[in-house]
Structures are given as structure tokens and as C-alpha cells.
Amino acid sequence: MSKVKIWLIFSIIIFFAGINIYINSLSYKLNKFLKNKDAQIGIAVIKNNKIWIAGDKKQPLLSVFKYCVALKVLKKLEDEKISLDETITVRKDMIETELYSPMLKKYTTFPFRISIKELLEYSVSQSDNNACDILISYSGGTNELNNFIHNIGFNNIEIFFNEREMNLDIKKQYLNKAYPADIARLMKFIRESDFLSQDSKKFLDVIMFKTTTGEDKLKSGLPKNFIVAHKTGSSSRTSDGIKIADNDAGYVISPDGTSYYIAVMISNSKMSDKDNAGIISEISRVVYEYFY
């Protein structure tokens, strides 16, 4: 056999081996979810120091931005040496009754006093919109929140509006936005750095573990013995039935203690809420199976 033929056979073997490696890679598996969907999908996964990204556009955050609000509040408490048990007086003019707000099932008369700890639990764990807006105001407003996130190195995360403003003008639901990769990176940075104290990080873990929204999203794609700390986001639909966003982002901890970060963000979806959640769940399952 000539050297040319040997080289050709060797090249063909290498070529098909490369194809086989790629189609079994996580990048290939994730990019398959972007095809033939009536929606724009963005995915980011980080394990150790490696990141996988599918979709390269900023996506509306919706209630995922409440994670950023929690960071701002916790940092304020640390810097000013304020206890989580410190209380705030909530007046009726601080509440928008049309917003999703489980807090108002407990607190039915005004004014009432509530701890910062409980407000954070309502905002993150139950995605309470009034609790979120109270915390935004308490910690300096949306401009300060946006600057805070940029100052810690995440300039591509944009936060301009609170929940009340987004409820009054549906177009504003598009404008708090980020790349999924930046949300995953932010969660990794906060969890693995000393930016927040250990006590603040443990508290943040707890309220994210206790998240009651999105049971059919990231969490449903995982075995029962895996733990997920996450923050969901879900929008209104436009007049022509388009779902502005359906999101879930967080970190997954396996029984052996290893972990990874994942953000799945769906926007401009013509699909049902059930179908959107099903895609997020399936992505979660694919990522888990790839690693374990």
C-alpha cells in the first residue's frame, strides 16, 4: 500500500473519530436544543473552570434578577453591620396589589413590620414581587443595583426596572437582560469567592434551595438525590401570545459533593408554558447525564 493511501485512510479515520467525539460532546447536545423551536433559547453550563454555551444573545431576566437584588441587600447588611433580623415598616403605598405577592396572604393589614430576612425569603424562594421591590428601594434603587453588578465585574448584566414598572409596561420586561453565561458566572463567583461572608452565602444557599417556583424546570430533570439551588423567571405574554421569557438558573450539587452551574433562558416563545418548562427540564437532564 502506498504512503498516499495510508495517509488518506489515516485522515479518514481521524475525521470520523473527530465527528464522533463532537456529537458526543456537551456543546453538540446543547446546540441541538436551539434548532426548530418557536423560541430563542440560551444555555450556559459551568463545571470547574470549563464553560459550555449555546445561544449567543442576551435574554430577558424577569425574576432571575431577584438573585442580584439579594446580593445587593446582603452586601449592604454586611457593610453596614445590619442584622438579617432588622425589620422594615411596610406602608400600603409601598405595595402594588396587582403584583404576584404570597407575602400579602400573611400580612393583610397596613402598616406592618417584616424582617429583611423574611423579605429575602419571599423574594427569592417564592418570587414575591412586592418583597423584591421593597428590597430594591431599601438597598438604593435600580440604578444602584445596576452599578453594583457592574462594579463586581458583570457589565453585560443590565437591570433598569423594578417589578412594578415591568407590570405597568410589558415592553420593559424585555429590558432587564443578560447572557445566560453571565448569570452562571455570577453565581459561581458569589459561591466560590469571599465577596460575601460564609454566613451570607449559607443563607443565600438556603433560600435558593427552598425555591418553590419552577418545580417543572431544572429540578424536574434531576434525580431526587441531587440538590438544586435556583432562581426562576417567568414573564407575561404579549397581546399576540408571545411569552417574553421563561428562565431557570442555579447550581446543582450531586450526592458526592461535586457541583455545576446552569442557566437556561427562553424568550419570545410561541410555545406553551408547559412546553417551555419541558425544554428546560430536558436540558437539565442532558447536562446531568453528561457529567454523571
Catalytic residues: 63
Sequence-distant (6+) residues with CB within 8 A of 161 are 142, 172, 175, 176
User: In a 10 Å sphere around its CB, with 0-12 CB exposed, 13-18 middle and 19+ buried, how is residue 123 labelled?
Assistant: buried
Question: What are 257's three cell numbers?
Answer: 459533593
Helix ranges (H only) for the chain are 3-23, 26-31, 65-79, 103-106, 116-120, 129-138, 142-151, 163-168, 180-192, 198-209, 273-291
Question: What are 264's three cell numbers?
Answer: 437556561
Residue holding cell 412586592? 130
Nearest to 67 by CA among 106, 10, 124: 124
Residue holding cell 409601598? 94
User: In a 10 Å sphere around its CB, with 0-12 CB exposed, 13-18 middle and 19+ buried, how is residue 62 labelled?
Assistant: buried
